[in-house]
Amino acid sequence: MYVPVVLFYNPAGGACAVEKSNLLKKSLSETLALYYPFAGRVVDAEYIDCTDEGVTYLEAKIHAKLSEVLRNPDNETLDLLFADNLQWEDTNLSTLLAVQVSYFECGGMAISMCMSHKLGDAATLITFIKDWSAMASNSGEHVIPLFDLTSMFPQDDLPIGKEHVNDKGKLATRRFVFDALKIAALKAIVAQKVQNPTRVEVVTALLFKCASSTSGGRAVLCQNINLRSRLVPPLPENFVGNLAWFFPVSKLEEDGEIELPGFVGQMKEALAEFCNTYASKFRGKEWCLSIKQHGEKAKELYGSDTAKYICSSWCRLPIYEVDFGWGKPVWARIGSRAGKNVSILMDTRSGDGIEAFVTLEEQDMAKFERNEELLAFATYNPNPIEELS
């Protein structure tokens, strides 16, 4: 599976498109010298051969202005900005990284990347992009990536699970934006019973409540987290690899009703239990056993009649700090159709709001996008440029 992200840049004076193209290609090559596995090839489920065969790099001219495309940021148009339509795809394509640079008539740009999940998680992808931009701008802010995870996480007898297959089927993705004022209102509701609710917690709880209500059956929320800061001791952000894990929050029984304060309380309890019981053991020889024990406990909540909803937060990843030398991005987003019942949260450019990209089956989305409680706190797919004005 390829993890996709695209960054949009306003027109900037100075370098022309040809000069920018040359700079991007040169700095990408220099960055890949540090991130050498990214230019390699997959041998099997456990091994990447660092063959230095390179990555896919495409350039495109868009016969429209950036403002025209973002005025109505629909998925069908924006997905054209990704190389070879790789976003969230499962494919045998040999390249592990695909870049597409799109030039708009006005001088604006879009830089997209699709990274194989075999290389790492969202934090790895954003760290790579930020280091690439630091190399291009000669800011000196790039870091040396760390790859030696096997010394801390020996494989032992940990089984290699089946690779996730993203069955896109009849899926629909919608973007909902929660501004700072609406998030504050959500927090106020939850804070009546729960201390210090975070913006990610209250938005996640509302999304799960509204999404699970579309089916009316049993449901469980699986929350993804970045393990780097949760391990004891924590790991630096420049550790490359899949250092994300999940914890199940709660099982919603058929026709059950979610109360936001109570559910956020359950989220906090589940995270605390995961960190205290499992994350503290995710080092050395104990980590394989800890993963197996956590997996077995999680299965107790799952069943063939239980709908699983996944929420992954990209909030606080420094995506809006990616400056190649012509300014920071005016907008960043993922590709559409991440998977059935998957929600991905990203910061707004201001840093105090949240953009939620929600993917459901089409019939469920038809109900979800009309949910009155959701629309009381979120705006459906606004123009990202107007949000800044």
Q: Which residues are annotated as catalytic?
A: 117, 323
**Is 244:227 a contact under the CB 8 Å cutoff?**
yes
Beta bridge partners of 4: 114
**How far is 300 from 58, CA to CA, in rounded Å?**
46
CA 28 distance to own-chain centroid: 22
Strand extents, DSSP E, the chain = 2-9, 41-44, 47-49, 56-62, 97-104, 109-116, 171-178, 218-226, 244-252, 306-313, 331-334, 342-347, 354-361, 379-380
**Is 69:106 a contact under the CB 8 Å cutoff?**
no
Amino acid at 250: S
Each residue of 62-100: b (16+ CB within 10 Å) or e?
beeebbebbeebebeebbebbbeebbbbeeeeebbbbbb
Strands 331-334 and 354-361: unpaired
Closest CA relative to residue 244, chosen from 282, 198, 285, 270: 282
HSE-CB at 243 with a 13 A cutoff on CA atoms is 27
Q: Provide the edge-to-edge strand list for the sheet that holds 306-313.
A: 244-252, 218-226, 306-313, 342-347, 354-361, 171-178, 379-380
**How far is 153 from 221, CA to CA, in rounded Å?**
27
**How far is 386 from 257, CA to CA, in rounded Å?**
36
Q: Is the peptide bond before 159 cis (omega within 30 degrees of 0)?
A: no
Closest CA relative to residue 231, chosen from 187, 162, 279, 159: 279
Query: At 239, phi and psi to the nearest 5?
Result: -75, 120
